[in-house]
Amino acid sequence: MASLSPDIRKARRLVVKIGSALLVDRETGLKRDWLEALALDVSEAKRRGADVILVSSGSIALGRRVLGWPTGELALEQSQAAAAVGQIRLARAYEEVLAPHGITTGQVLVTLEDTADRRRYLNSRATMETLLAAGVVPIVNENDTVATDEIRFGDNDRLAAQIAVTVGADQLVLLSDVDGFYSANPKEDPNAVRFDLVEKITPKIEAMAGDPISGLSKGGMKTKLLAAKTAVQGGCAMAIMEGSALRPLKALAEGANRTWFLAEGDPQAARKRWIAAMKPKGEVRVDAGAVKALGSGKSLLPAGVTVVLGSFGRGEPVAIQGPDGAALGKGLIRYTATEAKAIAGHKSAEIEAILGYAGRAALVHRDDMVLDG
């Protein structure tokens, strides 16, 4: 079984989720020593050639302490105010610990809608890809100052999983206050058994998840299991481990207690399956030159498009057809139907003159496309 477990040292694109309780002490505030040790782990992963994204809780916990608010449940507007105060301190803390390693950080605040809405999903994905290509370590958090619906995506567990799938990560690590997934709540059941490896999330596994425990964060094993389902279906392996020790990622590499959930295939294949299952909202017919370009793995440019049919928005699925109308595949289009019709047959350099703004060069990017056969 152990041989099936992923090796974090081989991660190509790694997402790490950090819980509030790991970052913020109720009495003393930010745990600076722990954060500096985590920075060593991040630096080591970067030196191995991995892209790293940190999904960090802690803004509300930090902010409420600065504001002098006691522990316990906060009203929604208080949580949002605490997040506003804490977020700026959280971002500065990450910058200060990573900068000595020559690592540039970028703050990315997202909401549930940014992953549910296809247009915003494509935009956030493009931004993340640009940051990673520039060597930046994005620090991601939910935009708690504007997010409603209980101020959360799901304690950032599900957010981390969505980010992992969005950027095509192959590994996700949830640093938590528990050292893995158990058959029952280990704080209540002394006979609870920890799993080293979960090859498949079955109904039996789902039934074992418990409820939130920590007073600083809102997540529990249920949100972690939901995160695992999202991640593995997106081709990303996920680990749950207790993260309070200094250098937690180093500890994971050296065999610390944890539970790995195995990915169902690789991230790109999972993404292609997701796109292939969508119902097209329109059709894009291309010329012979575009057919050849697509066959060699290129993106679809406006110049190769001859006909645009249907009504669709940015980020929605369209069918891609050859000159004779034969199906070639599907893709997520980066323009509305009106915009696509206006720029069809034109070179990418002409887009700004036609639309009045500088758009994206590709009509459908190769990463957002699946071809038949």
96 and 117 in one domain?
yes
Q: Do 249 and 140 belong to one domain? A: yes
User: Of the residues 249, 269, 289, which one is the last residue of a structural domain?
Assistant: 269
The tens digit of pLDDT for each residue in 275-300 reads: 887 889 999 999 999 999 999 999 99
- Residue 283 CA to its chain's centroid (Å): 29
Please tell me whether residues 53 and 151 are part of one structural domain: yes
- Looking at 212, 241, 269, the residue that finishes a domain is 269
If asked whether residues 164 and 15 sit together in one domain, one would say yes
pLDDT at 217: 42
3-state secondary structure of 373: coil
pLDDT digits (tens, 9 = 90+) for 167-220: 989 999 999 988 999 998 887 888 989 999 999 999 889 888 855 444 444 457
Residues 142 and 232 in one domain: yes
CATH number at residue 351: 2.30.130.10
Same domain, 39 and 188: yes
- In this structure, the answer to whether residues 161 and 286 fall within a common structural domain is no
Cα(80)–Cα(123) distance, rounded to whole angstroms? 25
**Structural domain for 360, as ranges:** 278-371
Are residue 249 and residue 326 in the same domain, yes or no? no
Any alpha helices (H) in the chain, and if so which ranges? Answer: 20-23, 32-47, 59-67, 76-98, 113-116, 118-133, 157-166, 203-207, 221-233, 248-253, 267-276, 288-295, 337-343, 351-355
Total domains in the chain come to 2
> Cα–Cα distance between 238 and 230 in angstroms, integer?
10
CA 153, CA 143: separation in Å to the nearest integer? 10
Residue 117, pLDDT score:
66
Co-location of 313 and 203 in the same domain: no
Angle formed by the axes of helices 32-47 and 76-98, to 10°?
60
| DSSP helix/strand/coil, 182 | strand
CATH number for the domain spanning 43: value is: 3.40.1160.10
* 248 lies in the same domain as 285: no
Contact 235, 263 (CB under 8 A): yes
Positions of the chain with pLDDT under 50? 1-2, 150-151, 212-218
Q: Looking at the structure, tell me whether residues 263 and 366 fall in a common domain.
A: no
User: Quick one: pLDDT at residue 3?
Assistant: 54
Of the three residues 269, 286, 302, the one that is the final residue of a domain is 269
pLDDT at position 34, please? 97
Task: Say what the pTM is.
Answer: 0.79
Question: Nearest to residue 218, comparing CAs of 125, 147, 137, 170?
Answer: 147
